[in-house]
């Protein structure tokens, strides 16, 4: 199973790069997706993600997003699985982070998130442009069933969503509502669930994001700092 997971990650990464080239070709032929405000991030969910035949047997769920990123946008990415809250950004578990250097010109990136059922949870495969990673999410529920709660910032088949550059973006939040456990954090009670999350955070809010991940509220915090997802 481990070898199959590595193969899946490699193939998804290569496939994502190929799709990225297709996106650039389509932009040259048909123009880019509609961007009303070039200073905002735009995200659109691909309605029918294409999965390579050699990957399909190992991927139970997949999401793909086309992202427009404005010039000068400096951000960090986080992918993690463990215990998380249904609102906010509290998270406890294993995670990985990476960063992207800001560019002087606007650009588009393709983001792919795939989940593969394994014996004791699921493996999450994450590919953004040319960067890829994988990690375990402690989710026991059927990925194709109705038990899991899935929230995204852009609904497949729906219009592109736009966000200010100073907004933290939980691209995907997935959890099992049957695993609810209360936890006392920073003088208040949070209900946590087994699941996983993928987030894009502006570099200038990296310290505040670390506090939010611990269940704390940074000084001057406002709800508008965090984009609200939609249930899929």
User: pLDDT tens-digit profile of 3-20?
Assistant: 455 555 555 556 555 555
Report how far Cα 84 is from the mean position of its chain's Cα atoms: 14
In this prediction the pTM is 0.84
User: pLDDT tens-digit profile of 153-211?
Assistant: 998 888 889 999 999 999 999 999 999 999 988 788 999 999 999 999 999 999 999 99
Q: In terms of C-beta distances under 8 Å and separation of at least 24 residues, what long-range contacts does 36-39 make, across chains too?
A: 36/162, 37/162, 38/70, 38/71, 38/106, 39/70, 39/165
């Amino acid at each position: 199973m481990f070898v199959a997971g590595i193969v899946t990650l490699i193939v998804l990464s290569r496939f994502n790069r190929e799709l990225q080239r297709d996106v650039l070709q389509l932009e040259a032929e048909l123009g880019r997706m509609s961007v009303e405000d070039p200073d905002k991030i735009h995200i659109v969910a691909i309605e029918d993600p294409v999965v390579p035949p050699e990957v399909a047997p190992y991927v139970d769920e997949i999401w793909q997003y086309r992202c427009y990123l404005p010039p000068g946008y400096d951000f960090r990415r986080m992918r993690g699985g463990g215990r998380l809250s249904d609102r906010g950004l509290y998270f406890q578990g294993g995670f990985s982070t990476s960063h992207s250097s800001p560019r002087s010109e606007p650009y588009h990136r393709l983001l792919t998130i795939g989940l593969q059922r394994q014996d004791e949870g699921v493996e999450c495969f994450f590919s953004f442009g040319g960067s890829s990673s994988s990690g375990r999410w402690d989710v026991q529920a059927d990925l194709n069933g109705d038990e899991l709660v899935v929230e995204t910032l852009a609904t497949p088949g729906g219009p592109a969503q736009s966000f200010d550059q100073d907004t933290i973006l939980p691209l995907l939040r997935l959890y099992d509502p049957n695993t609810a456990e209360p936890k006392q954090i920073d003088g208040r009670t949070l209900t946590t669930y087994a699941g996983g999350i993928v987030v894009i955070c502006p570099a200038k809010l990296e310290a505040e994001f670390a506090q939010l991940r611990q269940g704390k509220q940074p000084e001057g915090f406002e709800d508008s700092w965090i984009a609200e997802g939609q249930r899929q």
